[in-house]
Amino acid sequence: MAKKQFKAESKRLLDLMIHSIYTHQEIFLREIISNASDAMDKLAYTALTDDKVSVNREELKITLTRNESDGVLTVSDRGIGMTKEELEENLGTICKSGSLGFKQNMEQTEDIDIIGQFGVGFYAAFMVSDNVTVISKKYGEDTAWKWTSNGGDGYTVTEAQRAYPGTDIIMTLKKDTEDEQYSRFLKEWELRSLVKKYSDYIRYPICMQVQKSRRKEGSSDEHPEYESYTEMETLNSMVPIWQRNKKDVTAEEYNTFYREKFMDYSEPARVISFSAEGNVSFKALLYIPSKAPFDYYSKDYKRGLQLYSSGVMIMDACEDLLPEHFSFVRGVVDSQDLSLNISRELLQHDRQLKIIARGIEKKIKAELTAMLENDREKYCDFFAAFGRQLKYGAVAQYGAHKDATQDLLLFYSNREQKLITLKEYIDSMAEGQEKIYYLAGESVDRLSKMPQVRTLKDRGYDVLLLTDEVDEFVPQTLMTYSEKSFCNAATEDLGLQTEEEKEKLKEQTEKKQSLLTFVKDSLGDDVTQVRLVTNATSAPVCLVPASGMSFEMEKYMKRMNPEFNMPAMRILELNPEHPAVQALEVAVATDAQKAKDYVTLLYNQALLLADLPISDPAAYTELVCKFMK
């Protein structure tokens, strides 16, 4: 019988797995057991939706069989089984459901613990086996099939016998070496502890014949005699962790469940376990991760909670249970009230799901708020990982979800030199301050040196320094917070001038008209307007955008789309108190060429201060040198 080859990438992975030394080889059992459990889930689910299929739940179990003399370990299930085609398709191709990220990641770092991170599943069996044989009979079919492979060079499929639908995974373990005792995977205690460690929450019994000892019947109390016997025992506790009483579950158990279920090495930042009664009753076990998965901010990331109904997994990632702004939450929801006889598509629109989703959103918000209030340091770590998602949430759909998100946002406070909430900003506003001031730009360091910051600081006003790309959209979308409006200190009137000051500015402008006209004429279309500073500043000049778009927004748009061709219009402001501007005024009256040079110098300085490129750096440098002679 001709051997078929594994698909190319499968072969590479096999090599990688077999020839690298894993400290976690034992996880092969977890993978094989979880596949068996999945197969029974599928059968149970099919039975719920298809009248022709019926299942006796008693029969749904996983059996481990040890054959120590032959060195063979068998894992059998009464699941849905596989057809010949499915055997080839599922076991001949790597990571059928495995993540795409896996392959990408493998290219970069071959020594990474692939299995732990991605759960490559079935192939893990080859880490400990010389040969793996799979005998499977699909539910509803008459023929069983045998798939067999030694991992290295392909596999064969032949017809076989099997009494019931289901699958046997028959592993001929490798011979012991100095480094690895493969034979330990045939020891009762070892298997027992591996099941406990990795597969305790599998909802089907995992059974094994175990050695027991009892007192011989008829032996006397003085001279008790014992005999050993074997008995089928269920090794796992089965009851899902979320169904257990909260006070009986340790933090460690919650964390272990999280790490294994969601393939995360780090402890979750927060565990939320709650149940709701009412129109729809449900239990939920939710986790707020402490680190963002590598693909979190990419399209590959799948949001959603795992949905169970009466112990049957219905959906792996039910999106409708989790709003986009909380998409980082992982977890499980279990409700016996969901109508199971409807198809998955219909289920998504189920009114009951909406009720559950609302409960979950509320709960997550409450938990995050509690973390914000009681454990600020942890919250800041959380925010570093997922804050951007919350900000996206605040601006999405024109702020439709701002109620759920705005109180959870943190921005950098110039006064406090740390992240604060909008509420904290409002609570510490100075006497008479009416607006929430913010500046958006590349770095806190740069922003804090902007002249507007100084102006506001002199008044005792704080400024939020926004440095994330999405940041500037937040005030623009929210517009107000707690009835205070946002003010972009770079583009908008700071609203600090009194009527008197405004009057004075008008007078001054009239007096300096010839200066302003000269500067505007010299600069031509580079600026739309030249005027005297409207806000006190210590710099001689200041460039402000004329339209609603700030320079930062302009830069952002350019980065998003290099074709972007609607730059913010520039207004040049002159500070008449500054000696440099006064020198310019003198030059305008006496030496037109010198005055032109001064204008060029000052305009370029304004560009530099605004962190905008100057059009001819060489000419600018020359000009500076000219005046140093």
Smallest gap from Cβ 101 to ligand ADP, in A, equals: 13
Smallest gap from Cβ 68 to ligand ADP, in A, equals: 23
Residue 327 near Mg ion by CB under 5 A: no
- Judged by CB under 6 A, the chain residues 72 through 111 that form the site for ligand ADP are 77, 79-82, 90-91, 96-98
Residue 149 near Mg ion by CB under 5 A: no
Cβ distance to ligand ADP smaller for residue 32 or 371: 32
Torsion of Cα atoms, 126 then 129 then 131 then 137, to 10°: -70
Smallest gap from Cβ 189 to ligand ADP, in A, equals: 25
Give the x-and-dash track for 28-57 against Mg ion (CB under 5 A): -------x----------------------
Q: What's the DSSP call for residue 437? A: E
Cβ distance to Mg ion smaller for residue 120 or 607: 120
Longest CA–CA span in the chain (Å) reads 127
Cβ distance to Mg ion smaller for residue 127 or 584: 127
Cβ distance to ligand ADP smaller for residue 31 or 552: 31
Structure-token match 């009464």, residue found? 78
Cβ distance to Mg ion smaller for residue 35 or 522: 35
- The answer to whether the CB of 438 falls within 8 A of the CB of 463 is yes
Q: What's the DSSP call for residue 408? A: G
Q: Do β-strands 435-440 and 484-488 pair in parallel, antiparallel, or remain unpaired?
A: parallel
39 is in the binding site of which of ligand ADP, Mg ion, none (Cβ under 5 to 8 A by kind)?
ligand ADP
Q: Residue with the closest Cβ to ligand ADP? A: 121
What is the identity of the amino acid at 510?
Answer: E
Q: How far apart are the first and last CA of the chain?
A: 92
- Judged by CB under 6 A, the chain residues 151 through 210 that form the site for ligand ADP are 167
532 is in the binding site of which of ligand ADP, Mg ion, none (Cβ under 5 to 8 A by kind)?
none
Which residues have C-beta within 8 Å of that of residue 277, sequence separation ≥ 6? none
Q: How far apart are CA 333 and CA 275, in angstroms?
A: 9
- The answer to whether the CB of 253 falls within 8 A of the CB of 213 is no
Give the x-and-dash track for 160-199 against Mg ion (CB under 5 A): ----------------------------------------
Smallest gap from Cβ 323 to ligand ADP, in A, equals: 27
Cβ distance to Mg ion smaller for residue 73 or 125: 125
Q: What's the DSSP call for residue 112? A: S
Q: How far apart are CA 195 and CA 192, in angstroms?
A: 5
260 is in the binding site of which of ligand ADP, Mg ion, none (Cβ under 5 to 8 A by kind)?
none
Q: Do β-strands 464-466 and 529-532 pair in parallel, antiparallel, or remain unpaired?
A: unpaired
Q: What's the DSSP call for residue 562? A: T
- What is the DSSP annotation of 166-223? EEEEEEEEPPP-SS--GGGGGSHHHHHHHHHHHHTT-SS-EEEEEEEEEEPTT--SSS
Smallest gap from Cβ 332 to Mg ion, in A, equals: 18
Residue 79 near Mg ion by CB under 5 A: no
What is the identity of the amino acid at 498?
Answer: T
Which residues have C-beta within 8 Å of that of residue 110, sequence separation ≥ 6? 16
Residue 39 near ligand ADP by CB under 6 A: yes
**Residue 461 structure tokens:** 């006003």
Smallest gap from Cβ 121 to Mg ion, in A, equals: 3
Give the x-and-dash track for 87-126 against Mg ion (CB under 5 A): ----------------------------------x-----
Q: Do β-strands 206-215 and 62-67 pair in parallel, antiparallel, or remain unpaired?
A: parallel
Residue 148 near ligand ADP by CB under 6 A: no
Smallest gap from Cβ 260 to ligand ADP, in A, equals: 14
Smallest gap from Cβ 79 to ligand ADP, in A, equals: 5
Residue 121 near ligand ADP by CB under 6 A: yes
With CB under 6 A as the rule, give the number of residues binding ligand ADP: 18
Mapped onto helix, strand or coil, the DSSP state of residue 384 is helix
Q: How far apart are CA 486 and CA 579, in angstroms?
A: 34
Smallest gap from Cβ 90 to Mg ion, in A, equals: 10
**Beta-bridge partner residues of 149:** 132, 155
Q: Which parts of this chain interact with Mg ion (CB under 5 A)?
A: 35, 121
Q: Which parts of this chain interact with ligand ADP (CB under 6 A)?
A: 31, 35-36, 38-39, 77, 79-82, 90-91, 96-98, 121-122, 167
